Chain A
Amino acid sequence: MVDEVVKGRKGEPIGITLPGGGSMGYLWTAEAAGDVAVSEGIVAQSEGRGLGGRPDVRFDVTLSRAGTRVVVFRLKRPWEKRATETRRIRFEAS
């Protein structure tokens, strides 16, 4: 069971954007198989956002081979045990 399916090409980054929570103490972590590379960056904060606004977090997921991989993203505070949000996203590379 996955929350979303994202398609792309093998060896090329497939981007996905998630709502950040850093100013509330929450960080996204990504769990993926060893042949999947995941990098992260903060997306530009929209004008009009105030203190406490949530800049989006962009993940670039790269599958080294054609096929399907599920990456589990968890939004969690480092000092707390439980994630407040979990998203399972299937990446399909042709």
Chain B
Amino acid sequence: MPVSKESLQRAMAAAGVKWGIRPTPLATDGAAGTGLGLSVNVEERIALLAEARSLEHLTFRVVAAPPPAIDWRAKGGKTYITGIRDQKNCGSCVAHATCAAIEARINIEEDKPGRDLNLSEANLFNCGGGSCANGWNFVPALNYASKSGLGLEKDQPYNPANSVCKPIKKYYKVRSFSAASTTVARKQALSSRGPVIAGLSVFEDFTYYKSGVYRHVAGDFLGYHAVCVVGYSDKNQCWIVKNSWGPSWGEKGYFRIGYGECGIDSQFAFYDVDPVAINSP
């Protein structure tokens, strides 16, 4: 059952955290939900993180401490982040996060702030092997983007459903990608090169988030979710993240999440992509 506003507020007070919440469907406490268990592929995630750590020194040699804050939405007064998208009711978050990071990286590399470059999540998702019901994973998505490239939204618009792989013209490829797993390496990738792809655990209270620095306090685990991290703030002890739930959710489609929350900087690596143009849009 959905959590009530009162129980969410009590949980936040007990945990000593504060972030803005939306009204919940229950005016008073409802019946407590019955957790029926969760099976996760922990071994696979540990292996991925171990692999990321073993490769990290090759790509993330730290030559200087990362700055205390970065926000690619307002870097030097300019935004390099493209518009907020909406995956709707399809588990295509990996494709959305991948396209979001690549769009921003291309804007940074080509020094085109403010441009709403719009890559086709549908083409990446449907051609690369994603499934609305089963979701997808970072490495297959990045391998597909490396091998086959990425087309434009206008050539295959997003539709929240499994659909055919449409052969469209490709404009960009991923030249290489690497994974950052330590906090310093994550910040180094973000501050020196740009937005990265990340994952986190979603709990029920996250769907009611409206503003502030989110910290999980209540509700069942709902699944794993891919997002694009666009910055961080040591002052506020948080990552700044672009979601794919539309512009009406959270802080105009973005959220801030505390360091260490929901596995965002522990369960999954940050994926650092290096895109290259292969055709001119």
Contacts and interface: CB of A to CB of B under 8 A. Distances in A.
A37 B31 contact: yes
User: Interface residues of B toward A: which range?
Assistant: 35 or more
Interface in A15-32: 19-27, 29-30
B89 interface: yes
B92 interface: yes
Interface in A23-57: 23-27, 29-30, 37-55
B88 A84 contact: yes
User: Interface residues of A toward B: which range?
Assistant: 35 or more
Contacts of B87: 24, 52
A85 B90 CA distance: 13
A44 to B, nearest CB: 4
Given A23-B222, A79-B22, A45 B137 contact: no
Given A55-B222, A79-B22, A84-B89, A45 B38 contact: yes
Given A38-B1, A79-B248, A50 B137 contact: yes
B204 interface: yes
A86 B170 CA distance: 38
A80 interface: yes
B92 A44 contact: no
Interface in B18-63: 22-25, 31-41
B47 to A, nearest CB: 15
B39 A47 contact: yes
Interface string B190-210: 000000000100101001101
Contacts of B241: none
Interface of B: 1-2, 22-25, 31-41, 87-94, 130, 132-138, 199, 202, 204, 207-208, 210, 220-226, 245, 248-249
Given A42-B38, A44-B36, A45-B223, 13 more contacts: A22-B222, A23-B224, A25-B207, A41-B34, A41-B35, A44-B37, A46-B39, A49-B134, A50-B136, A50-B137, A52-B135, A78-B207, A78-B208
